[in-house]
Amino acid sequence: MEKDMDNLEVHTKELWDARSVKWAARDSEDEAARQQNEARYQYTDDFLWSHHLYDGNSEILDIGCGLGMFAVRFAQKAKRVTGLDISGKMLEYARQSVELNGLQNVDFIDMPWQDIDLRKSGLEKAYDLVFASLCPGISSDGGLLKMSQASRDWCFTCHFARRFSSLKNDVYLSILGHPFDSEWGKKSIGKSVEELLRAGYYPSLSYYDTQALVEWPLDEETAKHFAGHLGPLKDEQKYIDKYTGPVFDYLKKVAVNGLIRDETEAKIAFLYWQVT
C-alpha cells in the first residue's frame, strides 16, 4: 500500500470516505497501536510548539486533516485552524471531535489539495503554519511549493522514512515470496528536500522513532487487513478477495492462544521550512 502513496489515482473521495469509517471505529486496533498513534500526535504537536512553528496567535492550515486529530490539538492553543480533506466523511468525524472538545475556532474545506486555487480562494499567504502529516495529497508535482504559497511563515510535513511490521513482513514472505520493503520512504524524502532546495528554501530535518508490540486477534478481519496490504491501495479490495483465505491459513499457523504478535517500528522524517 505505502509504495503507491505517491500515485494520485488512489486519492479518490470514495476510497477515503470508506477508510474514515474504519479509522473512526478503531475496533480492531490493538491498545498498543492506539497508544503509539496518540504518542506520535502529541510528540508532533509538542515539536511544533517548542520549535516555535506556531503559537497562540497563529492561523494554521491542516492539509489532509482526516479525523481532526491534529486540528483539535492545534485549536486548543492557536488562534484559528482550517482543516482540509478530500473526504467529506472524514470531515464529518472531524467536526464531531471539534464539537465534543467545545472548540469554536476551527473550520473545514472539503476539497482535494490539488484542486484548490489559493489565489481565487483567498488562501494565498493566509496561514502562519501550513501542516501536512503523512498526507499523500501533497506528493503531487508542486505540492510542497503550493504549501509555501499558502504560508506566510512556516511549513511542516512528515513522511515515513522506514516502517517495519514483523507480521506484515512474514505475510509477504509466506504469500508473495519476498520481504516487505520497509525502506520505501527514503526516496520520497530525498525528492522533497531536493525540490525545496531548488526553489530556494533551506528545509530542516528531524526524526521521530517509535516502536510497539501489537497483538492481532486470529480472525477474518485481521486476515483481510494484511491481505489488503499485499498490493497497492487502489487495488485493496482485489487483494482482499484474492488473498484473505491464504493469509488466514498462515495466521492460524503462527497464532498463540488466538493472538498473533506483531513487532512494529517506524522512523518518521519531520521536514519543515520557513518561507519568509
> Residues 33-73: pLDDT tens digits?
778 889 999 999 999 999 999 999 999 999 999 999 999 99
Instruction: Among 11-15, 193-197, 206-210, 228-232, name the one with the lowest average pLDDT.
Output: 11-15
Question: Which grid cell is 32?
Answer: 498498543
Domain residue limits at 123: 2-163+182-211+266-274
* pLDDT (0 to 100) of residue 21: 58
Interstrand relation of 80-85 and 127-133 (parallel, antiparallel or unpaired): unpaired
CA distances from 270 to 1, 114, 204 (A): 21, 22, 8
52: left (phi over 0), alpha (psi -120 to 50) or beta: left
What is the b/e burial string over 120-158, where b = at least 16 CB atoms within 10 angstroms of the residue's CB? eeebebbbbbbbbbebbbbbeeebbbbbbbbbebbbbbb
Q: Answer whether 140's CB lies under 8 Å from 8's CB.
A: yes
Whether the per-residue pLDDT at 26 is higher than 80: the answer is: no
3-class secondary structure per residue, 28-54: CCCHHHHHHHHHHHHHHHHHHHHCCCC
Q: For 65-122, how does the pLDDT look when each residue is reduced to its tens digit (9 = 90+)?
A: 999 999 999 999 999 999 999 888 889 999 999 999 999 999 999 998 989 999 999 9
Whether the per-residue pLDDT at 3 is higher than 50: the answer is: no
* pLDDT (0 to 100) of residue 17: 54
CA distances from 121 to 7, 65, 94, 156, 179 (A): 26, 19, 22, 21, 46
Residue 137 domain-assigned (yes or no): yes
In whole angstroms, give the CA distance from residue 124 to residue 273. Answer: 17
Q: CB burial class (10 A; 0-12, 13-18, 19+) of residue 21?
A: exposed
Give the chain's domain count: 1
139: left (phi over 0), alpha (psi -120 to 50) or beta: alpha
* pLDDT (0 to 100) of residue 188: 84
In whole angstroms, give the CA distance from residue 13 to residue 246. Answer: 30
Residue 25 domain-assigned (yes or no): yes
Q: For 242-271, how does the pLDDT look when each residue is reduced to its tens digit (9 = 90+)?
A: 999 999 999 999 999 999 999 999 999 999
205 CB-near residues (< 8 Å, 6+ apart): 189, 193, 269, 270, 271
CATH number at residue 10: 3.40.50.150
Task: Work out the average pLDDT over 14-20.
Answer: 59
Residue 170 domain-assigned (yes or no): no
Higher pLDDT, 4 or 146: 146
Residue 172 domain-assigned (yes or no): no
Residue 78 domain-assigned (yes or no): yes
Computed over every residue of the chain, the mean pLDDT equals 89
